[in-house]
Amino acid sequence: MLVSHAMDEVNRLCDAVVLLDAGRVIAEGTPSEITAQARAADLEEAFVCLTGRALQDDMEEN
């Protein structure tokens, strides 16, 4: 298990990913499945598409 805000690292190292927003699961699958579902270029963009805010905003709240 890896917990990280570094989506490039997650994409490189993980076969399965769960994206969380405020403790809620917002996406689950392979990095390719999640980016396709969100119609995004990468996992970071997928997070933005699914939540409406950047990862940086999420990290500053915590």
**For residue range 7-42, what is the model confidence (pLDDT) as tens digits?**
999 999 999 999 999 999 999 999 999 999 999 999
pLDDT given at position 54: 84
- Tally Cβ neighbours within 10 Å of residue 20: 14
Question: pTM to 2 decimals?
Answer: 0.82
What whole-number distance in Å separates Cα of residue 58 and Cα of residue 62? Answer: 7
pLDDT given at position 58: 54
Contacts of 18 (CB under 8 A, 6+ apart): 25, 27, 28
| pLDDT band at 56; cut points 50, 70, 90 | low
50 phi/psi in degrees, rounded to 5: -80, -25
Beta strands in the chain (DSSP E): 17-21, 24-29
Q: Please check whether residue 26 is in contact with residue 15, taking contact to mean a CB–CB distance below 8 angstroms.
A: no
| pLDDT band at 2; cut points 50, 70, 90 | very high
